[in-house]
């Protein structure tokens, strides 16, 4: 696993400047095409950069589970694009990029050696290093914004890198993703629940690849992937990160994937950790848009934007962290 690979900025392909005027003191911003390079993998992305004379704080977005493009498009929603533009207008740069399993879906479909580091973590580290090599970015104030599965892994990335300023967890959880998925399937009365139930306990607890089982496949991944995932103690990683880094944990009340009680579990786990801030939004869904009256079959079908309050809360958190 190539955990310490540096990222390389390839030729910037395009640049456009957008003006802003909606009553706030906002800045113009530019979006540049970049490529996140980790080993032989090259992932197209966007660097969204405020246009001003100051070095700026910056964030790297970490996708939820499954193949995702750089905007993390879910139905009609584009949460990462919303956040990138909203943050840039308030002076914070960001990188978002197509996930490796999105850009190389065919190549990775038969890769039995794929791990959680290959799928997510290595490319995040590459994107972080891309920011560190940009003279416009304040290298002491780089943050991670992880959504859902990405929020779950944000503390892991903070601990692994060791030099980030902090992390924002959007609908994250310390619950094993297999447990969470099984609960969702059961609640939805999905026929896949019974299919997976027979193998649930085995893959939930597997700690090493068994010879001859390399091609065993469960919930979209081969055995080695689940071994790498199960090797991570999510609660311990979260406790460690909360002791050393500023963290903002955000949860929506209408989240149909991660229950709102998850925020209480974070508070219980991280009791006494003064670096952690919590925000709860009663009417927002898993993607932090209005989720009132949504069901699992109707969610995310209508174009909605992340409300200004969510973006403002992230900006306040980052600016407060910079001032410490």
Candidates 288, 276, 280; CA nearest to 320 is 276
The sign of the torsion formed by the CA atoms of 85, 174, 249, 239 equals: negative
Could you tell me which CATH class the domain 15-174+206-323 is placed in? alpha beta
Structural contact between residues 12 and 34, judged by C-beta atoms closer than 8 angstroms: yes
Q: Is 290 helix (H, G, I), strand (E, B) or coil?
A: strand
Candidates 44, 55, 164, 140; CA nearest to 95 is 44
pLDDT tens track, the chain, 324 positions: 333 333 333 323 333 334 443 446 799 999 999 999 999 999 999 999 999 989 999 999 999 999 999 999 999 999 999 999 999 999 999 999 999 999 999 999 999 999 999 999 999 999 999 999 999 999 999 999 999 999 999 999 999 999 999 999 999 999 999 999 999 999 889 999 999 999 999 999 999 999 999 999 999 999 999 999 999 999 999 999 999 999 999 999 999 999 999 999 999 999 999 999 999 999 999 999 999 999 989 999 999 999 999 999 999 999 999 998
Residue 257 bridge partners (DSSP): none
Domain ranges of the chain: 15-174+206-323
Half-sphere exposure of 154 (CA within 13 A, CB side): 35
pTM reported for the whole predicted model: 0.91
Residue 280 bridge partners (DSSP): 251
Element housing 222 (H / E): strand 221-222
Element housing 313 (H / E): helix 308-323
Residue 320 structure tokens: 């407060």
């Amino acid at each position: 696993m190539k955990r310490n690979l540096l990222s390389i900025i390839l030729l910037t392909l395009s640049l456009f400047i957008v003006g802003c005027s909606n009553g706030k003191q906002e800045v113009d911003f530019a979006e540049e095409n970049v490529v996140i390079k980790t080993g032989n993998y090259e992932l197209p992305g966007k660097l969204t950069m405020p246009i001003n004379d100051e070095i700026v704080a910056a964030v790297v977005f970490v996708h939820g589970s499954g193949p995702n493009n750089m905007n993390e498009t879910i139905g009609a929603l584009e949460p990462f694009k919303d956040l990138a533009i909203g943050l840039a207008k308030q002076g914070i740069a960001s990188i978002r990029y197509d996930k490796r399993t999105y850009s190389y879906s065919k190549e990775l479909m038969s890769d039995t050696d794929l791990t959680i580091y290959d799928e997510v973590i290595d490319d995040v580290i590459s994107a972080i290093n891309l920011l560190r090599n940009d003279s416009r970015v304040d290298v002491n104030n780089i943050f991670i914004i992880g959504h859902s599965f990405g929020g779950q892994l944000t503390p892991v990335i903070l601990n692994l890198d060791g030099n980030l300023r902090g992390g924002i967890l959007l609908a994250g959880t310390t619950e094993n993703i297999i447990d969470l998925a099984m609960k969702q399937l059961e609640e939805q009365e999905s026929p896949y629940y019974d299919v997976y139930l027979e193998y649930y306990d085995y893959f939930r607890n597997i700690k090493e690849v068994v010879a001859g089982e390399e091609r065993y496949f469960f919930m979209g991944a081969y055995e080695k992937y689940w071994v790498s995932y199960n090797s991570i103690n999510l609660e311990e990683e979260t406790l460690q990160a909360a002791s050393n880094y500023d963290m903002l944990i955000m949860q929506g009340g209408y989240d149909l994937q991660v229950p709102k009680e998850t925020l209480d579990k974070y508070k219980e786990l991280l009791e006494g950790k003064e670096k952690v801030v919590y925000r709860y939004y009663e009417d927002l869904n898993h993607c932090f848009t209005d989720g009132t009256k949504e069901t699992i079959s109707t969610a995310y079908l209508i174009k909605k934007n992340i409300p200004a309050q969510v973006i403002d809360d992230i900006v306040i958190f980052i600016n407060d962290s910079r001032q410490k």
